[in-house]
């Protein structure tokens, strides 16, 4: 008796995943978290109108979702001031990144990203046999000119750049991105991940012609719109590239109720503005908690704050472990020197109180074992 015959590529890949979810961590520790502020979820939740739309549509869940996401795609196009042929809807940015890599990357093809940037992108590239070339951050920001220079050096098909950035919450101005596009090598596509764009300052948003073939932009309903569990993302760009997704995407991959919820969420911009205000207030609270404990919060254009623990990655990992042991779910960057930080998502008042109580105790736990 024999098992499945894996491809050589799959057989060579390690059995790892980019993230260990909070549910798995709760099972391992045998207790729920007091504060779930590590996965950059929007704890303030979706628009009540989105919840109502999903509840109403649940009676129709026996039907497949619209394979073209027609209503949502047209609403997004109107919201962005572009044509529906320039928008594709998919299973979160993660799913769309997987499709994008599948479209462009064959085994051995070069791809460029930042060392320490969003690891799910790397996961997709490895899964299709691409060769990743990583560029260090400049300070605590992704270095777009250096990424483009590396792309020219290795003849990269694809460059990944997040603005605002995860895990550091930093951002690049839209004007700088526009200028950098003029240096992008021929045949290289810039994947501009704008997952946190609803929290960013206005000057972080570039003005790029929709039919510009050099860039594809990806956004989501997971962050600002508070629908991470619904898995709804969208990409927009030049029509020929967007239409190429139809060649390989899962045409019935979108949850029907999630499509209805996303449409209602998009139409409730007042709720989005309310959430953005709540997030800003929570980030201020995180900064005050950090300062009260001798730590410093980095400037943030996202719904989370990178808190500098003031030492090295080993120290930050001990602080993180001590917080987790006290029921506070947080995460941290993976790569030095950014791994001197822990990453704390915006939370409600009760979660901020739990953090304020646990952080000094966690730091004392670490000091006691030094």
pLDDT tens for 103-115 read 999 999 999 999 9
∠297-301-121 over CA atoms, to 5°? Answer: 105
Where helices occur in 144-268 by DSSP H, the ranges are: 144-154, 174-181, 239-244, 256-266
In whole numbers, what is the pLDDT of the chain averaged over residues? 97
Residue with tokens 């320039």: 86
The Cα 189–Cα 203 span in angstroms is 23
Q: Is residue 305 part of a domain?
A: yes
Is 2 among the domain residues?
no
Q: Is the dihedral of CA 261, 235, 147, 207 positive or negative?
A: negative
Tokens 């994008």, residue located: 100
pLDDT digits (tens, 9 = 90+) for 313-340: 999 999 999 999 999 999 999 999 999 9
Q: Which of 223, 249, 268 is the last residue of a domain?
A: 268
pLDDT digits (tens, 9 = 90+) for 142-168: 999 999 999 999 999 999 999 999 999
Provide the 3-class DSSP secondary structure of residue 192: strand
Say if residue 254 is in the same domain as residue 328: no
**1 belongs to a structural domain:** no
- What domain range includes position 352? 8-45+270-368
The SS3 of residue 12 is helix
> Confidence class of residue 239 from pLDDT cuts 50, 70 and 90?
very high
Residues 94 and 236 in one domain: yes
144: nearest Cα among 124, 122, 169, 161: 161
Q: Which of 6, 217, 39 is nearest to 120 (CA)?
A: 39
Task: Say whether 129 sits in a helix, a strand or coil.
Answer: coil
For residue 154, being part of any structural domain is answered with yes
| CA-closest candidate to residue 121, choices 88, 86, 167 | 167
Rounded to an integer, what distance in angstroms lies between the CA atom of residue 107 and that of residue 223?
33
258/315 same-domain check: no
Check whether 97 has a pLDDT greater than 80: yes
Residue 235: pLDDT band with limits 50, 70, 90: very high
Residue 140 lies inside a defined structural domain of this protein? yes
Q: 3 in a domain, yes or no?
A: no
Tens digits of per-residue pLDDT, 12-24? 998 887 888 899 9
Residue 190 has pLDDT above 80, yes or no: yes
CATH number at residue 152: 3.40.640.10
Extract the tokens encoding 59.
Answer: 């009676």
> Each residue of 41-64: pLDDT tens digit?
999 999 999 999 999 999 999 999
Q: What is the pLDDT of residue 20?
A: 85
Give the rounded percent of residues in the chain with a pLDDT score beyond 70: 100
Q: Answer with the residue of higher pLDDT: 359 or 14.
A: 359
- Cα 270 to Cα 9, 264, 307, 345, distances in angstroms: 48, 12, 30, 22
**Confidence at residue 203, expressed as pLDDT on a 0 to 100 scale:** 97
What's the CATH code of the domain at 351? 3.90.1150.10
Q: Does pLDDT of 370 surpass 80?
A: no
- Burial of residue 309, with CB atoms counted within 10 A of its CB: 0-12 exposed, 13-18 middle, 19 or more buried: buried
What's the pLDDT score for residue 173? 98
- 276 and 263 within one domain: no
Please name the residue ranges forming H helices in the chain: 8-12, 22-29, 48-57, 70-80, 92-104, 119-127, 144-154, 174-181, 239-244, 256-266, 269-292, 313-325, 349-368
pLDDT at 187 over 90: yes
pLDDT of the residue at 242: 98
* CA 306 to centroid of chain Cα atoms: 15
Q: Are residues 295 and 322 in the same domain?
A: yes
On whether both 339 and 201 belong to a single domain, the answer is no
Relative orientation angle of helices 92-104 and 119-127, to the nearest 10 degrees? 40
How many domains are there within the chain? 2
pLDDT, position 15: 85
pLDDT, position 17: 78
Residue 100 has pLDDT above 80, yes or no: yes
Per-residue pLDDT at 307 exceeds 80: yes
């Amino acid at each position: 008796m024999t098992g499945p015959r894996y491809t050589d590529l799959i057989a060579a890949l390690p059995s790892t995943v980019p993230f260990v979810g909070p549910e798995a961590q709760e099972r391992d520790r045998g207790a729920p978290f007091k504060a779930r502020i590590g996965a950059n979820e929007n704890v303030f939740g979706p628009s009540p109108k989105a919840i109502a739309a999903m509840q109403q549509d649940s009676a129709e869940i026996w039907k497949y979702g619209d394979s073209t996401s027609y209503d949502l795609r047209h609403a997004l196009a109107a919201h962005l001031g572009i044509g529906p042929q320039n928008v594709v809807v998919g299973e979160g940015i993660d799913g769309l990144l997987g499709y994008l890599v599948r479209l462009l990357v064959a085994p051995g093809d070069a791809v460029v990203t930042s060392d320490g940037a969003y690891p799910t992108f790397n996961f997709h590239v490895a899964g299709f046999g691409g060769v990743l070339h990583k560029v260090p951050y400049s300070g605590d920001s992704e270095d777009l000119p250096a990424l483009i220079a590396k792309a020219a050096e290795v003849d990269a098909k694809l460059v990944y750049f997040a603005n605002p950035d995860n895990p550091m919450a930093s951002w690049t101005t839209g004007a700088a991105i526009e200028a950098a596009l003029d240096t992008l090598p021929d045949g290289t596509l810039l994947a501009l991940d704008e997952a946190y764009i609803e929290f960013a300052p206005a000057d972080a948003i570039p003005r790029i012609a929709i039919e510009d073939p050099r860039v594809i932009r990806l956004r989501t309903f997971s962050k600002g719109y508070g629908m991470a569990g619904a898995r709804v993302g969208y990409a927009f760009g030049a029509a020929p590239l967007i239409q190429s997704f139809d060649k390989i995407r899962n045409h019935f991959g979108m949850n029907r109720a999630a499509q209805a919820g996303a449409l209602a969420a998009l139409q409730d911009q007042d709720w989005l503005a309310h959430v953005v205000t709540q997030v800003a207030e929570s980030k201020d609270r995180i900064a005050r908690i950090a300062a009260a404990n001798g730590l410093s919060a980095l400037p943030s254009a996202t719904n989370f704050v990178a808190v500098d623990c003031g030492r090295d990655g080993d120290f930050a990992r001990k602080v993180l472990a001590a917080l987790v042991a006290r029921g506070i779910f947080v995460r941290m960057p993976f790569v030095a020197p950014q791994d001197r930080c822990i990453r704390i998502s915006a939370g409600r008042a009760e979660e901020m109180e739990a953090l304020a109580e646990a952080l000094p105790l966690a730091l004392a736990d670490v000091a006691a074992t030094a």
